[in-house]
Structure formats: structure tokens, C-alpha cells
Amino acid sequence: MTMRAVVKGVGHYLPTRVVPNSEFEGKVETSDEWIRARTGIERRHFAADGETTSDLAAHAARAALVDAGLEPADLDAIIVATSTPDLTFPSVATMVQAKIGMTNGFAFDVQAVCAGFVFALANANALILSGQARRVLVIGAETFSRILDFEDRSTCVLFGDGAGALLLEAGEGQGTNADRGILATDLHSDGSYRDLLYVDGGVSTTGAAGHLRMQGNQIFRQAVEKLTETAHAALDKVALNGSDVDWIVPHQANIRIIEGTAKRMQVPMERVVVTVQDHGNTSAASIPLALSVGKARGQIKQGDLLVTEAIGGGLAWGAVVLRW
């Protein structure tokens, strides 16, 4: 018998305010046509005044618990992937703990920007496989609208707010790639790319939150290559390849990156979960949002082989192979 971290439930939450591309026209020199053609984005959600990352995360957490048929007290741990916490500390994860009424176990945040959910999944998997936790709620939650420079057309049209949550539970498998649960993880980072994507503020520099700065076309150049490599590396670890994949569930930054990666992996777009048109880039929330929406649409079914892959600030990137 082999221990596996198996999906028990999934859920998501999007703030009620929907912002169509047309809202940016007239504020910056852009157009709905440019945004759609270059990114695939049609709309995104922005959090209301006073609505925080932990609020979005707690809604997603409750939805995943309902989906799993479990109570907060059944959890051993919560990991939140976020780069837009409510406060410098305590962690968003402990705030979620309090909001859902969980006083047992432990909770902490992971910060790997857009790759955050993949890093958090790998951490949750390690906690389960090492016997430190049996049930882990892994959340990606962001309010990127709070760090956007609304005078910078090259970034403000790209991002949105939201949260998604995946509940993992220890289960027993046969030790083969036919098992349900997380089968392989592959993580990377290279800090020499720092200046391609960063926020120009922080606690120990300006003392203020700052604004997102990105050399988008430079990231674009890195993205397709690194995402394809990491997805293949994760699949290789369990002797699988693109033709075995039922669904790529990619980080949702740009439809052209998603299409380029799928093409290199020789996976047709019919087997890719795409939500970028409705959510924009929600950083660490984008993959769990896509998992939850993909299941709700009837795309992702039990037994399907999934590959998630993401890249973001750091640079940090990685992939997780799991059977739903």
C-alpha cells in the first residue's frame, strides 16, 4: 500500500463585482479588442471595498468543506497560497481558520506568487505523505486589484480577484500511476529573474504595499518553455506523457500561453480547462478556481488524470500531476 493525498472536495468564490474590459477604455489607452486578442480576457471580478483576501478564502473553504461533506474540525491543516494577504501578519490561513471556526490543527501561508497553489499542493502532499496531517485544505486566494497601478495599461487590465480551495485527504493506493491522488510534483525557482515581475513596495523597503510591475513580454518568452518542461518533468516521474492527460488545468494568465503550452505538450485544447476569459489572472487562485469551475462544468470527473502548471514572480514555476 502507498499513501496518497486524494481529492475529497473542491470549491471557489468570486467577488460579486464583475469588471468587463470596457471599464478600462477611457481610463487608460486600451480597448476591449486589444485585451481579448492579446490575452483572451473578457472580464474579471474585483473585491468590494472592505472585502479581504481572507474573506474570499473563507468562502472558498466553506464551499470545499460542503463538497467534501466535512466539518472544519475534521481538518488537520490549512495552507493558503497568496501574495496579497490582509495584513503583513498573521497569516491569511489563520484568519481563515478563525472565520470558519476551526480551533484545532495548524495553518500557514505559502508565497510563490502565481505558482503559489502548485507550491502549496506540493507542501500539502508532503505533510500527508509524512503522516503530519490526514486532511489538508489547500487554498489559493488573491486580491490583486489592491496592488494594481490603474494608470499602467500594460498590467491593470490583466488581473482579477478570487479564491479556490481543494481538500486533500490521506488515502491508500497501489503505488501505481493508476492511483487516485497526487502522483508527482515538480518545483523550480530562479531569483535572477526578480526584475521581470515584482511589487515595488514592502515592509522592509518602502513600508507600503506598492504596485505590481511586470515586463510581460519577457515573462511570456519564459512561460511556454518552462511550463512545458515542468509539466513533462512531473509526468516523467510517473512514466506518463501528454497523451495520458485528460485535463491540463493551467495557470490562467494568457490564452496564448495556455495554447502554446498545450500545443508543445501535444494536448488538444478540448482537454484544457480555460477560465481566463471570465477571471483574468488571479495569480495563486487561478488553478483552484479552474479546478472548481472545471468540475462544476462537468469537465473534470473522478479518475481523470490532471496536470496543473504555473509560473510567476521569482521566477517560480512548477507542476503537479494528480488523478482526480
The contact mask relative to ligand UT7 for 155-194 (x = CB under 6 A, - = no) is: --x-------------------------------------
Task: Return the range that interacts with ligand UT7 (CB under 6 A); candidates 32-40, 169-177, 224-232, 270-278.
Answer: 32-40
- Least gap, CB of 27 to ligand UT7 (angstroms): 11
| Cα 131 from Cα 102, distance rounded (Å) | 20
Active site residue 114: yes
Q: Does residue 216 belong to the site contacting ligand UT7 (CB under 6 A)?
A: yes
CA distances from 283 to 23, 117, 201 (A): 21, 9, 18
H/E run at residue 186: strand 181-189
Catalytic residue, from 59, 211, 251, 279: name it.
Answer: 251
Q: How many CB atoms lie within 10 A of CB 8?
A: 21
Q: If we measure between CA atoms, which residue out of 225, 211, 233, 200 comes closest to residue 118?
A: 233
H/E run at residue 286: helix 286-296
Residue with cell 462537468: 298
Helix (H) and strand (E) counts in the chain: 9, 13
Q: Does residue 39 belong to the site contacting ligand UT7 (CB under 6 A)?
A: yes
Q: Does residue 255 belong to the site contacting ligand UT7 (CB under 6 A)?
A: no
Judged by CB under 6 A, the number of residues near ligand UT7 is 20
* Near ligand UT7 by CB under 6 A: residue from 97, 254, 275, 292: 254
SS3 state of residue 146: helix
Q: Does residue 288 belong to the site contacting ligand UT7 (CB under 6 A)?
A: no
Task: Return the range that interacts with ligand UT7 (CB under 6 A); candidates 102-110, 135-143, 216-224, 235-243.
Answer: 216-224
Active site residue 251: yes
H/E run at residue 247: strand 247-250
Q: If we measure between CA atoms, which residue out of 225, 199, 226 comes closest to residue 318?
A: 226
C-alpha cell, 91 = 497569516
Q: Does residue 274 belong to the site contacting ligand UT7 (CB under 6 A)?
A: no
Q: Does residue 108 belong to the site contacting ligand UT7 (CB under 6 A)?
A: no
Contacts with ligand UT7, residue ranges (CB under 6 A): 30, 34-35, 38-39, 114, 153-154, 157, 216-217, 219-220, 223, 253-254, 257, 281, 311-312
Point out the residues that are catalytic. 114, 251, 281
